[in-house]
Amino acid sequence: MSNNSTKPEEKGFFEKVKETIESLWDDTTEEAEELKDKAGDTIDHLKDKVAGKKAAATKKATPVKAEASHKASATATKVKSAANDVKDKAKTATTTAKKSAGEAKDKVVSKAKTATTTAKKSATEAKDKVASKAKSATITAKKSVAAHSTAAKKAVSAK
């Protein structure tokens, strides 16, 4: 009898895991290389397409730039004229408002002057009335005091 068995050798657990990982690694690297080649081909294809379109776009860009520049300058001119119109309207409105305010101020000042003059006149008249009444009262009081003092002097000299 021979020592060689006809059965295949059984592998251990770690050897099986190792082989599985190696096969996955090989499959992954092969797939990655294929994807890399496809991506390179796609990039080259897109570069060719863009180069063709870029030339056409450059030819179209010059008239478009000129037209855009013209439109921009026309728009800027319109904006400036509108701004000037607004400034003119604002100046006119300001002038009108100042004029109206000046007129209103003049009216108020003249009314105040008239009221002040009237008040001063009334105060002066009242003062004069009070002064004349005070003078007449003083004169009456002096006459009364003089009459009493004369009567008192007569009474003292009679004694």
pLDDT, tens only, 131-156: 888 888 888 888 888 877 777 777 77
Of 51, 48, 29, residue with least CA distance to 40: 48
Span 90-112, average pLDDT: 82
Residue 55 lies in a domain: yes
Residue 75 lies in a domain: yes
Residue type, 29: T
13-48 per-position pLDDT tens digit: 888 899 889 988 888 888 999 999 999 999 988 888
Q: What pLDDT is recorded for position 136?
A: 85
Q: Residue 57: is its pLDDT beyond 70?
A: no
Q: Residue 1: is its pLDDT beyond 60?
A: no
- Give the residue numbers spanning the domain of 71: 13-126
Residue 155 lies in a domain: no
Residue 50 lies in a domain: yes
Residue 25 lies in a domain: yes
- Residue that the structure tokens 């770690």 belong to: 14
Lookup: tokens for 119: 């008040």
Residue 36 lies in a domain: yes
Total domains, the chain = 1
Q: Could you give the CA distance from residue 147 to residue 152 in angstroms, rounded to a whole number? A: 9
Q: Could you give the CA distance from residue 85 to residue 79 in angstroms, rounded to a whole number? A: 10
**Residue 121 vs residue 55, higher pLDDT:** 121
Residue 32 lies in a domain: yes
Span 72-86, average pLDDT: 82
| pTM summary value | 0.33
Residue 92 lies in a domain: yes
Q: Could you give the CA distance from residue 82 to residue 95 in angstroms, rounded to a whole number? A: 20
